[in-house]
Homo-oligomer: A and B are copies of this chain.
Amino acid sequence: MNERIVPSSIRKVYEGRIFTLQVETIALPKGDTLHAEVIRHPGSVVIVPITANGEVILVRQYRPAIGRWAWELPAGSLKHGEDIRAAALRECHEEVGLVADLLEPLGAWYPTPGYCDELMNFFRATGLRPPRADEHAQQDEDEDIEARAFSREELTKMLAAGEIIDLKTIAGLALTKP
């Protein structure tokens, strides 16, 4: 009971800009048949950018899915065929405006394995510096992002006040707790 179960049929119902939605028919070992609605996602990177004095940089943007603005760790989807470290450096540069000279993997976890194969790859980013003239970054056209550094005390208060609203941010902060 450890092996992958090959779906007996796969029906693609939507092909989107970021993910694909399909219905997969699976025969479970006990004999039941499952029609799983599955979102195929390219995976993503989550960056915990830590400044020289131990502050953590969060970004604020509008999240249409939940209808609100939120302070979160910088993150983004992998582009087709992109290496995860390259994606982490790119997102840090695009969203925070800084280049990370050191990137350390913290682990990778699925946020919603019940219906989506997105794997979030977490990195600690340090040695942050402004980009040189030859280091360009391209913000996505739909990104309207503000970046700010917070002390751990400020973050603890924001957590207690319910101002950190997403799981990747509480997980990333917990993983890098000094």
Residues of A at the B interface (CB closer than 8 Å) are 1-2, 4-5, 7, 13-14, 16-19, 21, 23-24, 26, 28-30, 32, 34-39, 62-70, 72, 75, 107, 109-120, 141-142, 144, 162, 164-168, 170-171, 174
Contacts and interface: CB of A to CB of B under 8 A. Distances in A.
A2 B165 contact: no
11 contacts: A17-B37, A26-B62, A28-B62, A29-B144, A39-B39, A65-B115, A66-B119, A107-B162, A110-B166, A111-B111, A171-B171
B72 A113 contact: yes
Copies in the complex: 2
A70 B113 contact: yes
Nearest to A72: B113
A21 B21 contact: yes
Contacts of A113: 63, 65-66, 70, 72, 165-166
A138 to B, nearest CB: 14
Contacts of A17: 35, 37
A94 to B, nearest CB: 14
Q: Name the residue in A1, A32, A70, A113 with the highest tally of chain B Cβ atoms < 10 Å from its Cβ.
A: A113
Contacts of A68: 2, 4
Nearest to A146: B1
